[in-house]
Structure 1
Amino acid sequence: MRILVADDDAQLQRALRITLAARGYEVLTAHDGAEAIDVAANGHPDLVLLDLGMPNVDGLDVIRAVRAWSKVPIVVLSGRTDSAEKVEALDAGADDYVTKPFAMDELLARIRARARAAGTDASGDTDASTHRIGDLVVDLAAKTVRRDGDARGAASVRLTPTEWRLLELFLRNPGKLLTRQMLLSDVWGPYHANDAGYLRLYVAQLRRKLEPVPGEPRFFLNEPGLGYRFEPDGGTAAPV
Structure 2
Amino acid sequence: MTNSKPRQIFIVDDDSQLLSLLRDIFEIEGWSVVLAKNITQAKELLESCKPNCFVIDLKLPDGDGNEFIKYLRSKQKAPILAISGEGQSEHNFALPATSQMGADYHLSKPFEPDELIIECRRLMNLDNTTA
Q: Same fold (TM over 0.5)?
A: yes
Matched, 1:17 2:23: yes
Matched, 1:95 2:95: no
Matched, 1:108 2:130: no
> Bigger radius of gyration, 1 or 2?
1
Render the CA deviation track for 1:150-171: whole Å, top value 9, x for unaligned.
xxxxxxxxxxxxxxxxxxxxxx
Q: Which has the higher contact order (CA 8 A, sep 6+)?
A: 2
Q: Which amino acid aligns with 1:114?
A: L
Q: Which amino acid aligns with 1:9?
A: D
Count of aligned pairs between the two proteins: 119
Matched, 1:31 2:69: no
Q: Which runs of 5+ in 2 are unaligned?
A: 1-6
1:98 is paired with a residue whose SS is strand
Q: Which amino acid aligns with 2:124?
A: A
CA contact (8 A) 1:8 1:32 kept: yes
CA contact (8 A) 1:40 1:66 kept: no
Percent same amino acid at aligned positions? 29
**Map of 2:66 onto structure 1:** 60
TM-score w.r.t. the length of structure 1 is 0.47
1:75 is paired with a residue whose SS is strand
Q: What are the within-5 Å matches in structure 2 for residues 158-173 of structure 1?
A: none
TM superposition shift of 1:109? 0.7
TM-score w.r.t. the length of structure 2 is 0.84
TM superposition shift of 1:41? 4.0
